[in-house]
C-alpha cells in the first residue's frame, strides 16, 4: 500500500514549515504540480471508465424495472438453482483448497526436498493456463469420449455436464490462492516457532494448532476470501464442463449469460448484481484485513 502514498499530495504543512527542510525534502521526491494532476486525472479517468461505470451500470440496470422484477428474477426457480449450485461448489472447493494450500505451503516453507521449485511452479499453473483449457482437460479425461468415459458410463457415474465436473473445474482454477498467500508468509516465519514448541514437548498436532495456525491465521483468511470469490465467479472452466442445463448445471455466472443471451437484461443484471455485491464484500473484507493485519500478510502482493 505504500506505493499509493507517493501518488498523493505531500501532507499540507503549517506555513512556518513551508520553506523548511521537510518541504524541500518532499520537493525532491515529487514531480511538478501539473505532472501530478495529469497523472492523477488519468488514473481517475481510467478507473471511472473501466471500473466505477460498469459497476454502477450493473446496479442501475438491475433496478431499471423496479424492485418487484428484481426480486422476481432472483427467486425464480432456475435462478435459485444457480445460486444453490454456486454456493455448493464454493462450499466444496474452498475447504478442499484450504487444506491443499495449507499442506503445500507447509511442505514448501518448512522442509527441503527435491522438486520443490517444480512444485512451486506447478501451483501457479492454474493462473497461467486459460480456464477454457482447464475445463477441456476434464472433458478429455471424464467426458463421454474421454479416457475414463466408457468406464464411468458403465458404472453410471456422471462427472461432465453435472455437479462433480463443475466442482472439479472450480477446484483446479482456484487452488493457487491459499497456497500462494501462505508460502511467502510461512517462509518468512521460518521453523523456529515450531522447533521451540517441539522442544517444549508439544506433539506435531499441538504445534500446528497452537503455534503454526495462530501465526498464519490472517494470511489464511485472506487466501480463503480470494479463493471463495474466484470460486463463485469462475466462468470459463465451468462453462466448458457444465453443459448449461437450466436448473441443474448452471452456476450464477452461467445463468447470467443465458439470461443475457435471451434478452432478459433486467433479470441478467439482477443476478449479476449479486455477484458484484459479493465482490464488493470480499474487497472490503480484504481491505480491512490489509489495514488491520498488513504486517502478518504476505509481503508480496500479487493478486
Partner 1 sequence: MDIHVRGIHKSFGGFKALSGVDLDIASGELIALLGPSGSGKTTLLRVIAGLEFPEQGQILFGDEDMAARPIRERRVGFVFQHYALFKHMTVLDNIAFGLRVRERGERPPEATIRARARELLDLVQLSGLEKRYPAQLSGGQRQRVALARALAIDPRLLLLDEPFGALDAKVRKDLRRWLRSLHEQTGYTTIFVTHDQEEALELADRVVIMNRGQIEQVGSTDEVYEKPASPFVFDFLGNTNVLPGEARGREVFIDGHDTPIVTDTIHPNGAVDIYVRPGDLRLADGGIPGFYADVRSTQRTGPIVRCEAQAVHSGQLIELEFPHLHHDAPRLQPGQRVYLRLNNFSIFPRGQGKPGAKPSDPTVLIGSERERGRLG
Q: Which three cell numbers, joined as nine digits, stand for 218?
A: 490472517
Site membership for partner 1, residue 115 (CB under 8 A): no
Look at residues 55, 57, 56, 62 and name the one whose alpha carbon lies nearest to residue 264.
62
- The nearer residue to partner 1, 158 or 292, going by C-beta atoms, is 292
Q: Which stretch binds partner 1 (CB under 8 A): 41-49, 87-95, 190-198, 262-270?
A: 190-198
196, 245, 281, 283: residue in contact with partner 1 (rule CB under 8 A): 196
Site membership for partner 1, residue 41 (CB under 8 A): no
- The nearer residue to partner 1, 157 or 200, going by C-beta atoms, is 200
- The nearer residue to partner 1, 2 or 112, going by C-beta atoms, is 112
Total of residues contacting partner 1 (CB under 8 A): 16
- The nearer residue to partner 1, 65 or 191, going by C-beta atoms, is 191
Site membership for partner 1, residue 201 (CB under 8 A): yes
Look at residues 238, 262, 267, 268 and name the one whose alpha carbon lies nearest to residue 250.
238
Q: Which stretch binds partner 1 (CB under 8 A): 114-122, 170-178, 209-217, 283-291?
A: 209-217
Site membership for partner 1, residue 294 (CB under 8 A): no
Site membership for partner 1, residue 55 (CB under 8 A): no
Look at residues 133, 157, 113 and name the one whose alpha carbon lies nearest to residue 240.
133
57, 130, 203, 300: residue in contact with partner 1 (rule CB under 8 A): 203
Q: How far is the CB of 109 from partner 1 (least distance, A)?
A: 15
Instruction: Give 61's contacts (C-beta < 8 A, 6+ positions apart).
Output: 265, 266, 269
Site membership for partner 1, residue 192 (CB under 8 A): yes
Site membership for partner 1, residue 208 (CB under 8 A): no
- The nearer residue to partner 1, 130 or 195, going by C-beta atoms, is 195
Residue ranges that bind partner 1, judged by CB under 8 A: 192-193, 195-203, 206, 210-211, 214-215
Amino acid at each position: 500500500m505504500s506505493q499509493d502514498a507517493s501518488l498523493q499530495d505531500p501532507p499540507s504543512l503549517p506555513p512556518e514549515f513551508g520553506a523548511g527542510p521537510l518541504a524541500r525534502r518532499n520537493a525532491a521526491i515529487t514531480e511538478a504540480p501539473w505532472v501530478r494532476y495529469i497523472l492523477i486525472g488519468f488514473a481517475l479517468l481510467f478507473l471511472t471508465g473501466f471500473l466505477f461505470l460498469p459497476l454502477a451500470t450493473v446496479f442501475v440496470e438491475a433496478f431499471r424495472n423496479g424492485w418487484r422484477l428484481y426480486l422476481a428474477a432472483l427467486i425464480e426457480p432456475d435462478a435459485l438453482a444457480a445460486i444453490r449450485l454456486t454456493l455448493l461448489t464454493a462450499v466444496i472447493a474452498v475447504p478442499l483448497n484450504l487444506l491443499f494450500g495449507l499442506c503445500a505451503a507447509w511442505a514448501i516453507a518448512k522442509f527441503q526436498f527435491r522438486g520443490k521449485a517444480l512444485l512451486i511452479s506447478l501451483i501457479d499453473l492454474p493462473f497461467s493456463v486459460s480456464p477454457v483449457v482447464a475445463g477441456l482437460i476434464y472433458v478429455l479425461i471424464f467426458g463421454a469420449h474421454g479416457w475414463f468415459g466408457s468406464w464411468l458410463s458403465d458404472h453410471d457415474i456422471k462427472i461432465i455436464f453435472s455437479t462433480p465436473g463443475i466442482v472439479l473445474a472450480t477446484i483446479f482454477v482456484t487452488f493457487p490462492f491459499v497456497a500462494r498467500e501462505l508460502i511467502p508468509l510461512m517462509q518468512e516465519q521460518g521453523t523456529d516457532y515450531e522447533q521451540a514448541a517441539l522442544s517444549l514437548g508439544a506433539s506435531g498436532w499441538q504445534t500446528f494448532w497452537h503455534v503454526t495456525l495462530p501465526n498464519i491465521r490472517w494470511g489464511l483468511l485472506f487466501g480463503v476470501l480470494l479463493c471463495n470469490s474466484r470460486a463463485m465467479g469462475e466462468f470459463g472452466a465451468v462453462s466448458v464442463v457444465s453443459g448449461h442445463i437450466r436448473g441443474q448445471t448452471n452456476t450464477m455466472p452461467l445463468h447470467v449469460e443465458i439470461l443475457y443471451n435471451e434478452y432478459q437484461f433486467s433479470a441478467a443484471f439482477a443476478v449479476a448484481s449479486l455477484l458484484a455485491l459479493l465482490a464488493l464484500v470480499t474487497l472490503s473484507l480484504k481491505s480491512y484485513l490489509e489495514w488491520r493485519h498488513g504486517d502478518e500478510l504476505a509481503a508480496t502482493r500479487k493478486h
